[in-house]
Chain A
Amino acid sequence: MSDLEQFRQETRAWLEENCPDSMRTPITGFEDLYNGGRNPEVSHPDQVVWCERMAEKGWTVPHWPREYGGGGLEKAEVKVLGEEMSRIGARRALDSFGISMLGPALLEFGNEEQKLEHLPKIARGEIRWCQGYSEPNAGSDLASLATRAEDKGDHYLINGQKVWTSYADKADWIFCLVRTDNTGTKHEGISFVLFDMDQPGVTVKPIKLISGSSPFCETFFDNARAEKKNLVGEDGKGWSIAKYLLTHEREMISGFGAGPKKTVGQMALETIGADASGRLANSVLRQNIAQYQLDTMAFGATMARVGDEVKSGKGLGPASSIFKYYGTELNKRRNELNLAVLGEYALGWEGDEYNGGTVSRDWLRSKGNSIEGGTSEVQLNIVAKRVLGLPDA
């Protein structure tokens, strides 16, 4: 038996024994994603058990090195683990910004002490993180951020305001962009710091979204304190770390709409019916759906192609620059088609007869996909300038 096959068998046996039955059911919404933290929110108590067991093996972050709380697995093993988890329908044990955003940045830019301090706590779901980038006057033009950090020897004193900070009201720590110097260009003088949200100098105020939920906040700093040892990279050199992290964020967002679902075409047949030739009865809607499904298929093939190119050692080609833009625009189209296909049902906001308004709320939430993590327009600017080499205005 090959090592990989042996790994598969062991993994299968371990999962059979350790994955609670309740964690083998499909998730029904955001609340079923477990984010950990000091005061974890759960929709089922088994979420905590499942996360602990997986973290014990390092499998909440299977590809991270063991010394940082990861599983130390090879790529092929990570794939096997994923396959074995899908086989029994096991949920991911832990989802968090720590895993998808901060972790990769710390692995690349953190010093040894920082990695040993923060990564294992991310892996075990002990600390929940939020992202302090955007400010009222620094959105697409992120580098114009103004939150000040004053050097006080062993720590920084931070004053200013962040906005659109997702889950700031639930997070324990923040990774934050602050200005330590404003004498150079706007990209210089930005520093990447980490600090605890549980201190008197930090206040958060939830903001309600058009979808009715309040996932993000205004975050105020009034003499908040960040220890010097939690400065990642050099003072004033945080911009490249910020950008590196954004590529990981964009990757995560472009995958939002993915997952096995009934095709829109099948859904539409059920609600609208077919004509005598078996075609969807509304030919205008039919064309829109077909074009959407065609683009989804071609986009899927593009993700696969880029993945295969990376595996074959060709590196991340220019095609990857379109993922965030195209993936989020597709997801918005999908949600618009849901409305078109489901009609009145899709407009329900509350009540069991509308399943709590999931369709309309998801539709509204999807509008943010092409704003968060860099807007579609900003993504097109990047393609035009970096990939096509078109000059600045």
Chain B
Amino acid sequence: MALVLNEEQTMLKDAAAGFLAEKATVAHQRALRDEGDERGYSESVWKEMAEMGWAGIAIAEAYGGLGYGYVGLGLVLEQTGANLSASPLQSSVLIGASVIAELGSEKQKEEWLPAIASGNKLVTLALQEGNHHAPLATAAAAARDGDGWVLNGEKVLVLDASSADAFIVIARTSGSSGDEQGLSAFLLEAGSAGATVTARSMVDSRNAGLLALKDARVGAEQLLGEEGGAWRGLSRALDIAAIGLAAEMLGLSTEAFTRTVDYLKERKQFGRVIGSFQGLQHRAAELFAELELCRSIVLQALQGIDNDDDNLPLLASAAKAKLCQITQQVTNEAIQMHGGIGMTDEHEIGFFIKRARVAQHTLGDYNYHLDRFAQLGGF
């Protein structure tokens, strides 16, 4: 597949950019934060996004989606990154739907995917337990109980936890920390007995929370995939999710960079615009070069999902590691090059660095993915 966008994809990208620049900008995000909105995103804007079909872009037509593939979803995510638009596009569409598509039975897919695609249901993944993404270290327990299981454990950084309709809980039915075997996935509806959500206030002021499971009971029909055999499908869904987050970060860092270059052309010191100082010019040019590499690796990885590339794990870790590295560098430079004004809450550039670090951390940061990239490369 050629590493270029076709006409349809370019139109989708432009349409997404236009809509978000009007309805879900940094200013809107600031308003949601200041109002203390627990959801962290606008329900009505999300409805409009779903009406345009965005929630079903990557979901197969057989399940009520557009069957448009992940390159399409990646383009929209990139635009949400550029505008810092919060929505359940990451939690439910990118991650939740991908896990269900990978692990779900025909019946489960028919029940959940169309509901996600229409924006009617929000399904989110409850995976992380400690300070870091470490899926194989999962300790939450699923103990047999008749023809079902009881779940116990605590999950952090559950995206959109307080507005979710259902959680995909990853828990151990057997094995111990580090084992691939023994991990199972369960669909648990919000409000189920023994499941408590506590909203957590995060630096990006989006909706993430804690899911505490205390003897929460799930039946056989809630098991996604095979008992103890969730890892293969989960791992592929995590690769897809990492690539989608990389696409969001591509939009975020490109926009932070563009705003910074604009500022370099405007701010004057020593009687001239600061963009004429070569010390700043070279740093900006280096970031430009790195962002071009980011654009290529993200597109290659998105195409890798749609083409069923055998190297998807490597592509995913490459894309996430590279975007984490450069997003961190760009957002740091953005603040530095803005000087004092960049430190103020009033200026928008600070919103970029805050969302950046959460997106970087989610489902594995630079250290996690570079380590995995090396392992997959055989060293």
Contact = CB atoms under 8 A, between A and B. Distances in A.
B352 to A, nearest CB: 18
A309 B281 contact: no
Contacts of A295: 293, 322
A289 B281 contact: no
Interface string B274-303: 011110011011101100111111011000
A377 interface: yes
A298 B289 contact: no
B276 A392 contact: yes
A233 B370 CA distance: 52
B320 to A, nearest CB: 11
A391 B265 contact: yes
Given A291-B370, A384-B285, A390-B264, A305 B278 contact: no
A286 B294 contact: no
B334 to A, nearest CB: 14
Interface string B69-88: 00000000000000000000
B146 interface: no
Contacts of A6: none
B261 interface: yes
A314 interface: yes
B378 A265 contact: yes
Interface string A257-295: 000000101101100001000111000001101110111
A265 B378 CA distance: 7
B276 A393 contact: yes
Interface in B356-379: 370-371, 373-375, 377-379
Interface stretch (A176-184, A190-198, A318-326, A346-354): A318-326
Interface of B: 2-4, 261, 264-265, 272-273, 275-278, 281-282, 284-286, 288-289, 292-297, 299-300, 318, 321-322, 325, 370-371, 373-375, 377-379
Interface of A: 263, 265-266, 268-269, 274, 278-280, 286-287, 289-291, 293-295, 297-299, 301-302, 304-305, 308-309, 311-312, 314, 318-319, 322, 325-326, 377, 379-381, 383-385, 387-393
24 contacts: A263-B378, A268-B379, A269-B379, A279-B371, A287-B370, A290-B370, A290-B374, A293-B377, A294-B318, A294-B322, A301-B293, A302-B293, A302-B296, A304-B3, A308-B2, A308-B3, A309-B4, A380-B285, A383-B285, A383-B288, A384-B285, A390-B275, A393-B277, A393-B278
